[in-house]
A and B are shown apart, each in its own frame.
Chain A
Amino acid sequence: MSVLAHVFEAAGIATVALSSVREMCAKVSPPRALHCEFPLGRPLGKPNDAAFQHDVLARAFALLDAPSGPVLVDHPEVIESDEQPLACALPPRFDPSLPPAVDEARGLRKAYDRQLSRRGVTAVGRVTDADGVPGAIGVLHAIANGADWKEAGLPGGNTISVCHDIRNYYEEAALELVDGPPPVGRAMEDWFYDQTEAGRTILAARAAIKDSGAKFPIWFYMVAGHR
């Protein structure tokens, strides 16, 4: 972002950058930046809070009044990422002949469809759609249990995209099932990896792919890096 600020400014367009990593912003030093210590992935801080988002924008646009720069100012509010897993019911076991994660994914389909109907758009679809998610999880289950990842039939042949599709399917479904307020920061991520069979299956498949000697980028980016 800070690099693009320099590029756009050189083209004659004034820029204001929101910053999410203060050290990097200070290093690249864009002309005007408002550092926002908010959950990563939420540069305006709070979903469905127009007043707060307007506050961020007002503070950002106020930097256009600075006579010279670079200017790096901190938003006064810090929003910590919640690491408590989301409270969200998972479907009961329905078909014991299936791997638990496949059964679970099937059970979430109606919730996923409700979210899609409500929002009209889904992030699932990089290499598979909702119909293909249980099967993709089945492939990861096989990999976790010893199948060769290169031969197992991963949709798109790509270890990372399929994990995005599965995680997005779960997270979009979970927003229909959540008890209480909407998830903050990493609460949804923690729920997915710590509490769902699909999350555990991806982690196990990733470990198996790593142990098979696959190159770092093939397995590492299947899940968040600190896991």
Chain B
Amino acid sequence: MNGDQAMRAFAAGLPGPEFPNPAWVTPKPLAQSTVAIVTSAALHTPDDEAFSAADTGYRVIERHRRDLVMGHWSPNFDHTGIVLDLNVVYPIDRLEELAQQGAIGAVAPRHISFAGNQPDDVATIRLDTGPQAAAALKADGVDVVLLTPV
């Protein structure tokens, strides 16, 4: 079993919170939608507050920023892909290209980064910081969120 297989086997056994009545948004056409990225890669700018070990908060990434570092506390995945190309985690340049092509309506002015290593009950991001981040994107007119996991 290689490292990724071991991590996937471990993660597959973690408790998964239940959402008995999940919300469903019927999206408007993508070509008219403003799209934001929300990642769990603990990305932040060098001048931003670093992520702590049990950080349940999020950082806001302005659309034009590319000087991002991964502040994730887990040593259990590859950290070099993002050094080679930010877009392999945070596909911001791809979104800009899709907007230029008219495939999406617009790139959101702000994007969101959480840390993927959360307490098992995920209570804070579910009830507190997650809704806060959603409200911030909503205020920016975001219609669609792309979630990228790390």
A-side residues, CB < 8 A to B, are 1-24, 27-31, 39-48, 50, 53-54, 57, 60-61, 64, 68-70, 80-81, 83, 115, 119-123, 125-126, 160, 163-164, 167-168, 171-172, 175, 182-183, 185-186, 188-189, 221-226
Contact = CB atoms under 8 A, between A and B. Distances in A.
For chain B, which range describes its interface: under 10, 10 to 19, 20 to 34, or 35 or more residues?
35 or more
Contacts of A223: 75
A182 to B, nearest CB: 5
A53 B87 contact: yes
Contacts of A64: 27, 30, 144
Given A14-B143, A167-B75, A39 B4 contact: yes
Given A4-B130, A16-B147, A186 B16 contact: no
Contacts of B33: 14
Given A53-B91, A54-B97, A186-B3, A7 B143 contact: no
Nearest to A222: B75
Contacts of A189: 3, 78
A14 B25 contact: yes
Contact of A81 (B4, B16, B23): B4
A54 B76 CA distance: 26
Given A11-B138, A61-B30, A160-B53, A224 B76 contact: yes
Interface of B: 1-4, 6-8, 10-12, 14, 16-17, 19, 22-27, 30, 33, 38, 40, 46, 50, 53, 67-71, 73-85, 87-89, 91, 93-95, 97-98, 103-104, 114, 116, 122, 125-126, 130-131, 133-135, 137-138, 142-150
B3 A81 contact: yes
Nearest to A67: B26
Given A13-B25, A31-B22, A47-B88, A40 B150 contact: yes
B2 A83 contact: yes
Given A9-B23, A29-B19, 19 more contacts: A3-B17, A11-B135, A18-B148, A21-B8, A21-B149, A22-B12, A28-B16, A31-B22, A31-B23, A39-B4, A47-B85, A48-B84, A50-B93, A53-B88, A115-B83, A171-B83, A175-B83, A185-B4, A224-B76
